[in-house]
Structure 1
Amino acid sequence: MTMPSDPMIALLYRLNENSNAIASAVEEISQWIDQRGSTDVSGRVEQYLGVLEENSEMVAECFAELLFRSQS
């Protein structure tokens, strides 16, 4: 994907990428914790990851709208 010339759009794109990468890493750690028997900790981590997942669609839609507006 070619980055837009607007630095705000570029920043938001990178922040969203970072958020997705962190969520993936935390999910891997949560699975590792769960496999070692600490299901209560794993469950709490999964709850927090659920918040990220719930917000991800709106974040993607808003980012797409900002990108569209910046190119108009």
Structure 2
Amino acid sequence: MTGDKPSITADTLEISLLNQTDIRPALEDLSRWISQRGSIHDNIMAALRTLDTHAEAILIGIERLQA
């Protein structure tokens, strides 16, 4: 990470986005497994959609900070 605040903010958000991106496939696999058992699949899918929406917003913020 570089030393200025905008770079630190962008770098931190990028790490957050990477974590979120890595978590999504695991949750999707878990959701499929739960769906096969007829449980809370819809709630998990709603959470995954929220993760996607937030990931897009985080990415836009990162791009604006890095511009």
- C-alpha separation between the residues in 1 aligned to 2:26 and 2:58? 19
1:15 correspondence with 2:8:
no
Residue of structure 1 in register with 2:65 after alignment: 66
Structure 1 stretches (4+) deviating beyond 4 angstroms? none
Residue of structure 2 in register with 1:25 after alignment: 26
Which has the bigger relative contact order, CA under 8 A and spacing at least 6?
2
Q: TM-score, normalised by structure 1?
A: 0.72
- C-alpha separation between the residues in 2 aligned to 1:8 and 1:43? 34
Alpha-carbon offset, residue 22 of structure 1: 1.3
Q: Runs of 5+ in structure 2 lacking a partner?
A: none
How do 1:34-53 residues align onto structure 2 when only pairs under 5 Å count? 34-38=35-39, 41-53=40-52
Q: TM-score, normalised by structure 2?
A: 0.76
Q: Runs of 5+ in structure 1 lacking a partner?
A: none
Q: CA RMSD in A?
A: 1.6
